[in-house]
Amino acid sequence: MSLLEPEVLARARHRLYGLLGRLLVEGPRPEALALARAVPTLAAVLPPPDAGPDVLDDLAAAHYAATTEVSPVASAVLGEDGLIGGPVADAIRAAYLAGGFHPSRTDVAIDHVGLQLAYLAHLCDAEAQAHADGALDAVERLTALQQGFLDDPLARWLPAWVVASGDAGGPVWRTVAELSLELVASHRSASRRSASRRSASRRSASRRSASRRSAPAPDAAPATTAGPGLDLDDPDVDLRSIATLIVRPARSGWLLSRTALARVCAAAGVTSGLGERGRVLAGALESAAALGQLQPLVEALMQELEAWQAQLERLGTQLLLPTEPWLARARQTHALLTTVRDAVIQVR
């Protein structure tokens, strides 16, 4: 339980959400880095203020890797087709409008992680002002908006993105991503506790109805699909079908980064190639099959998936986040890969 006054806590969240969102969207701009050095967790991994241009160039390159190896956009992670836009982006845009948030950046996707954190910064700033004005109805409305957005979409997709992006962005951007997740998780837990207390304190039918609207939402699955759903006995299902499934997180329960994919290919002695991840993985699977290396490649995929599952499960346990839907999908994908591996062994 926080010992800070609600107004002070809301202002602190406003500042930290704003900083983290700015870093994730803009990268290592001097103004943002100066603010970040005031945060001990970030100061511990950031280069000193007098770092040379080469160091800052490396930091910018690491930011690019962290935000391009795996998409920092919710719809690309939660959407069934793995593409940017669609219903997920529309729902986030509607949430922004409900909270009176109009992003100034139009050069990034509306559901970019940095803009989502900026939206929470906006809500926390408005909440702090409502506390200062004694506007309790406004406070309740704003905290309900925060809670709803923390539950959906952020808690649904941010843990997966943090694990995957941390694989590519180096210590600085891994720390930025992890701190963002920790802030979301602590804010979400506090919000759900507050909502439960409000619900328990209300007695009248009308007040009970209002409390149900602001009560914690149930943890949701990452998307609406029913899992991998590939029938390996279907003659139309081939190695490319498996690759397509794996690189669509909402179906596979796995956000596979380019770095992780390169590790898989290297472990099996297969060239990883260039291009989008689905094409690279499909090419690697087909090359491995032609070279008689499909079994080691599939086993390398399984090992990488197991490491992903372990990291995601740890985050879910430590931060009380709803990672089980992802883990359930990942277990189905692991079972699919096991079937493929066993089939290869039997053919031999």
Predicted confidence (pLDDT) at residue 218 exceeds the cutoff of 60: no
CATH superfamily of this structure's domain 6-214: TorD-like (1.10.3480.10)
79 band by pLDDT with thresholds 50, 70 and 90: very high
Predicted confidence (pLDDT) at residue 341 exceeds the cutoff of 70: yes
DSSP-derived letter for residue 254 is: -
Which percentage of the chain shows pLDDT scores above 70?
Answer: 89
Calpha distance 242→223 (Å, rounded): 19
Give residue 216's pLDDT.
Answer: 45
Structure confidence by residue, pLDDT tens digits, 283-312: 999 999 999 999 999 999 999 999 999 999
Predicted confidence (pLDDT) at residue 219 exceeds the cutoff of 70: no
Find out whether 211 and 199 touch, Cβ atoms under 8 Å: yes
Domain range list for the chain: 6-214, 239-347
Lowest mean pLDDT, pick from 85-99, 117-131, 157-171: 157-171
Q: Which two tokens stand for residue 62?
A: 């690491």
Which percentage of the chain shows pLDDT scores above 90?
Answer: 80
Predicted confidence (pLDDT) at residue 208 exceeds the cutoff of 80: no
Q: Where are the alpha helices (DSSP H) in the chain?
A: 6-26, 30-36, 40-43, 53-68, 74-78, 87-98, 113-133, 136-149, 155-166, 170-201, 205-214, 239-246, 249-252, 258-268, 277-291, 294-319, 324-347
Give residue 235's pLDDT.
Answer: 78
Find out whether 23 and 176 touch, Cβ atoms under 8 Å: yes
Query: Within a 10 A sphere around the Cβ of 48, how many other Cβ atoms?
Result: 8
- The torsion of the CA quartet 280, 165, 117, 145, rounded to 10 degrees, works out to 80
Structure confidence by residue, pLDDT tens digits, 55-72: 999 999 999 999 998 999
Q: Which two tokens stand for residue 248?
A: 């669509």
DSSP-derived letter for residue 135 is: -
In sequence order, what DSSP letters do the residues of 172-238 get, joined into one string?
HHHHHHHHHHHHHHHHHHHHHHHHHHHHHH--SHHHHHHHHHHSPPPP--SSSS-S----TTSTT--
Q: Which two tokens stand for residue 89?
A: 């982006």
Predicted confidence (pLDDT) at residue 226 exceeds the cutoff of 50: no
Calpha distance 331→6 (Å, rounded): 41
80 band by pLDDT with thresholds 50, 70 and 90: very high
211 band by pLDDT with thresholds 50, 70 and 90: very low
Query: Within a 10 A sphere around the Cβ of 33, how many other Cβ atoms?
Result: 19
In degrees, to the nearest 5, what angle opens at C-alpha 5 toward C-alphas 2 and 153?
60
Give residue 3's pLDDT.
Answer: 58
Structure confidence by residue, pLDDT tens digits, 143-196: 999 999 999 999 999 999 999 998 888 899 999 999 999 999 999 999 998 877
